[in-house]
Amino acid sequence: MQIIYFLFGAIIFLILVYIVLPSFYKKYIFHYPSKEFLNSGNICLTFDDGPDPKVTLEVLELLKSHGAIGTFFINGKSAERFPEIVKAIQKEGHIVGEHGYDHLNAWKVSPWQYWAELTTSKRILDECIGENEERYFRPAYGKVNLLTYLFMVRYKRKMILWNANSNDYKQITASEIVENVIRQHNAGCVVLMHDGCINYPEMGDVKIEAIQRILKHPRFSGKEFVAVDTTI
């Protein structure tokens, strides 16, 4: 009987250390974005899950025509297929960050699968745009575990979350996406958007339309569309 209690206790302890404490830290102790950024009222557009051969290239055109800077959290598997687009993102002066290789959820896969997810994505981006001493990182689904932090310490990654969710990964209209962003813009906002179309490939045009409207929305006149380095 005692061995059962011991095993039960050990499992609880491991879950606590591996998932609960890292998640608690992310939610309640890790402060992001910075006060200065919140006070600025500026907008930081972030695009996850790309590159996508259609959407990403159109987003780059839109950002260029509005003099805006974007931050792209790249899916390693897509970067393997479209390395030229990742290079183009960097060449245009935007920021390239890591987002894992295959969009695995840190809570739902084994530690070795998750470590491979992070390190493979790093290797692919290193090969694509050159090694970088420091890089920004956004965990898939915003989910973290102990390995997320070990990875960030080991490779000097800075975690970037968001405080405005456009919900553009759902099947919604461009107006709803814009409305979601406007509603959450009470201060400087880091907007979660997706140039990658993992769930609904047909949403590409809707996202482009929404980004276009956001970039010229009167709500943001006088504000800047800035890169992620100004938000920490």
Residues in contact with Zn ion by the rule CB under 5 A: 48-49, 140
Asked if residues 160 and 231 have their Cβ atoms less than 8 Å apart, the reply is yes
For the beta sheet containing 43-48, the strands, ordered from the edge strand earlier in sequence to the opposite edge, are 157-159, 135-137, 95-98, 70-74, 43-48, 189-194, 164-165
Identity of the residue, 128 or 140, whose beta carbon is nearer to Zn ion in the bound complex: 140
Nearest-approach distance from CB 227 to Zn ion, in angstroms: 19
Q: How far is the CB of 39 from Zn ion (least distance, A)?
A: 28
Compare residues 40 and 46 and give the one whose CB is closer to Zn ion: 46
Nearer to Zn ion, 48 or 117 (CB): 48
Shortest distance in whole angstroms from residue 84 CB to Zn ion: 21
Q: What is d(CA 139, CA 161) in angstroms, rounded to the nearest whole number?
A: 8
CB of 206 to Zn ion, least distance (A): 17
CA 225 to chain CA centroid, nearest Å: 16
- Judged by beta carbon, residue 74 or residue 220, the one nearer Zn ion is 74
Q: Taking the complex as a whole, how short is the minimal distance between the CB of residue 169 and Zn ion, in angstroms?
A: 8
Chain residue at closest Cβ approach to Zn ion: 48
C-beta of 48 vs 98, nearer to Zn ion: 48
- Residue 198, number of CB atoms within 10 A of its CB: 16
